[in-house]
């Protein structure tokens, strides 16, 4: 029996300290709700948990970023909806102005409303903003944009109209201006008569017949057969005649009767520059022109049609044509100086990866950017109003394309938000399994430690009393 070292008490005290420490940790976990309150609780788990927390907080902010992007896109798209409504009204007014029944005061009233709508489109472009960012005004700096090319409504009968090709800076119109066909230019129909190539420009049927019956031509080709003027060698008939080379001869009047409307005729020998052309009997001299004259009408119309809304005006090169009367007009398209496109990125991920950025591009939606600046519909002929319809149609197409692009981005962002929220939910669940306390399990541990602590205190008290037996030996 010893008194210096009470090993029972020492052992009971050690076990009580262990139990008290475990009970303290259990109490901490139950009161905080976290299984890991310090790195020592689970060093590896803490590292994994903190990495997940970094991802979660980033994803939460990314979802907010995407939602802000949706709000910005909806703001721009809503403004463009009103711009499109104004353009629809302008189209209605241009169609009205193109009608020939309008008086001068009518067109002035229409022009006044179009001016007001154009000004409002500019105002919307200048003032629409989200979080102090101007959405439809464009970015800093300017660029030159070529307007869409127009064919000035050139159409023709049969194969007269061939093609219109619109390029980045130039457009090309190819038209077949064949004798005997009709072509419509700026709403006016023209008959195409023979040019001074082959036969005289004064090519009415009666004129051709008179040229032949007058006997002034050495050669005449009618319907593919060439007739050569000769003197009849007989004394009975000394008059000049035309010989077909087949042994048959024809009086001038007989030959002239072979020519009717639609006959191909060459007055003279057929060469590269003198080819048979179709003759017609035209009554409307004002609207019966040579191919060269119609080509100039087309060229003038193309310049007018392609200058709508332009800062730098369009020009059309001199027309060129091949042997088949295919005339080609090269249009140097009009252009405008507008603000650069606005572009900003929405960061929709928790990492620095550039694939986490969604780019939003917005064109300058001013009247100049839409190609309708200075729109004029008040001319008496209605031609300017007709061309304005095309310009407004182009502007509507531009706005529709921009709205469509914004709608596509909004749909994408909504899917992005749904995906981000799904990742956040599942990552939170994984982080919870690492970091959070299982309250039911921990309560079992706490109860066990509480009982052990009470038992340990009792055993320690009894161990301390065990040495009291030494005193009985001293009595």
Place of tokens 């159409």: 155
**pLDDT range class, residue 30, cuts 50, 70, 90:** confident
What's the domain count of the chain? Answer: 2
Last residue of a domain, one of 423, 439, 461: 423
For residue 110, what are its two tokens?
Answer: 């229409």
Half-sphere exposure of 77 (CA within 13 A, CB side): 18
115 and 162 in a single domain? The answer is no
**What are 271-283's pLDDT values in tens digits?**
766 777 777 777 6
- Asked which of 77-81, 236-240, 405-409 is least confident by mean pLDDT, the reply is 236-240
For residue 366, what are its two tokens?
Answer: 């001013």
Q: What is the pTM of this model?
A: 0.73
185 and 293 in a single domain? The answer is yes
DSSP 3-state of 84: helix
88 and 196 in a single domain? The answer is no
pLDDT of residue 330: 92
The pLDDT mean for the chain works out to: 84
- Asked which of 16-25, 92-101, 194-203 is least confident by mean pLDDT, the reply is 194-203
Instruction: Output the CA angle 406-407-411, nearest 5 degrees.
Output: 115
Task: Quickly list DSSP for 355-381.
Answer: GGEEEEEE---SHHHHT-TT-----TT
Residue 228 burial class via C-beta count within 10 angstroms: exposed 0-12, middle 13-18, buried 19 and up: middle
Q: Quickly count: other Cβ atoms within 10 Å of residue 389's Cβ.
A: 19
Work out the percent of the chain whose per-residue pLDDT is above 70.
93
Residue 323 has pLDDT above 90, yes or no: no
Last residue of a domain, one of 395, 423, 451: 423
Give, for 455, the enclosing helix (H) or strand (E).
helix 439-465
250 and 160 in a single domain? The answer is yes
94 and 218 in a single domain? The answer is no
Q: Which domain holds residue 231?
A: 155-167+177-298
267 and 377 in a single domain? The answer is no
Question: Quick check: 266 and 274 in contact, CB under 8 A?
Answer: yes
**pLDDT range class, residue 202, cuts 50, 70, 90:** very low
Does a structural domain hold residue 474? no
**What are 461-472's pLDDT values in tens digits?**
888 887 777 777
Does a structural domain hold residue 224? yes
118 and 161 in a single domain? The answer is no
Locate all alpha helices (DSSP H) within 246-382, ordered by sequence.
252-257, 291-305, 367-370
402 and 356 in a single domain? The answer is yes
Q: What are phi and psi of 347, to 5 degrees?
A: -90, 115
DSSP 3-state of 177: coil
Q: What is the CATH number of the domain that holds 94?
A: 1.20.1330.10
Q: What is the DSSP letter of 199?
A: S
Q: What is the DSSP letter of 276?
A: -
Does a structural domain hold residue 463? no
159 and 282 in a single domain? The answer is yes
Does a structural domain hold residue 10? no
Does a structural domain hold residue 256? yes
130 and 236 in a single domain? The answer is no
Does a structural domain hold residue 5? no
DSSP 3-state of 306: coil
Mean pLDDT within 420-437: 86
pLDDT of residue 113: 94
189 and 278 in a single domain? The answer is yes
Does a structural domain hold residue 1? no
**What are 129-150's pLDDT values in tens digits?**
998 999 998 889 989 888 888 8
160 and 125 in a single domain? The answer is no
pLDDT of residue 233: 55
């Amino acid at each position: 029996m010893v008194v210096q070292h009470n090993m029972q008490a020492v052992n009971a005290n050690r076990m009580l300290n262990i139990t008290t420490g475990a009970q303290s940790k259990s109490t901490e976990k139950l009161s905080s709700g976290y299984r890991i309150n310090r790195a020592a609780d689970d060093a590896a788990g803490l590292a994994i948990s903190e990495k997940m927390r970094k991802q979660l907080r980033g994803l939460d902010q990314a979802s907010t970023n995407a939602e802000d992007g949706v709000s910005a896109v909806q703001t721009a798209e809503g403004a463009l909806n009103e711009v499109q409504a104004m353009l629809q009204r302008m189209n209605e007014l241009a169609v009205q102005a193109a009608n020939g029944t309008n008086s001068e005061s009518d067109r002035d009233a229409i022009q006044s409303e179009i001016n007001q709508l154009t000004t409002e489109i500019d105002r919307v472009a200048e003032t629409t903003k989200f979080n102090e960012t101007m959405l439809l005004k464009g970015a800093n700096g300017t660029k030159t944009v070529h307007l869409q090319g127009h064919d000035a409504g050139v159409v023709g009968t049969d194969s007269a109209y061939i093609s219109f090709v619109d390029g980045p800076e130039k457009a090309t119109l190819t038209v077949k201006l064949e004798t005997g066909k009709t072509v419509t230019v700026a709403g006016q129909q023209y008959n195409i008569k023979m040019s001074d190539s082959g036969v005289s420009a004064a090519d009415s049927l009666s004129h051709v017949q008179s040229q032949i019956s007058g006997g002034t031509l050495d050669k005449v080709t009618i319907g593919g057969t060439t007739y050569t003027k000769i003197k009849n060698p007989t004394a009975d008939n000394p008059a000049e005649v035309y010989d077909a080379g087949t042994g048959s001869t024809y009086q001038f009047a007989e030959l002239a009767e072979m020519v009717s409307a639609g006959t191909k005729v060459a007055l003279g020998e057929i060469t590269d520059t003198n080819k048979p052309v179709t003759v017609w009997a035209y009554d409307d001299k004002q609207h019966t022109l040579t191919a060269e004259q119609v080509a100039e009408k087309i060229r003038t119309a193309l310049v007018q049609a392609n200058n709508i809304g332009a800062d730098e005006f369009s020009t059309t090169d001199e027309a060129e044509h091949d042997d088949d009367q295919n005339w080609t007009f090269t249009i140097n398209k009009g252009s405008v100086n507008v603000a650069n496109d606005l572009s900003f990125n929405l960061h929709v991920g928790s990492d620095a990866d550039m694939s986490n950025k969604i780019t939003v591009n917005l064109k300058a939606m001013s009247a100049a950017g839409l190609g309708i600046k200075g729109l004029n519909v008040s001319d008496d002929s209605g031609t300017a109003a007709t061309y304005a319809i095309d310009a407004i149609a182009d502007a509507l197409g531009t706005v529709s394309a921009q709205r469509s692009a914004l709608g596509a981005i909004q749909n994408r962002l909504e899917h992005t938000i749904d995906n981000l929220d799904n990742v956040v939910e599942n990552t939170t669940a994984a982080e919870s399994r690492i970091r959070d306390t299982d309250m039911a399990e921990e309560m079992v541990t706490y109860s066990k430690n509480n009982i052990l602590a009470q038992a340990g205190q009792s055993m320690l008290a009894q161990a301390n009393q065990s040495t009291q037996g030494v005193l009985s030996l001293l009595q």
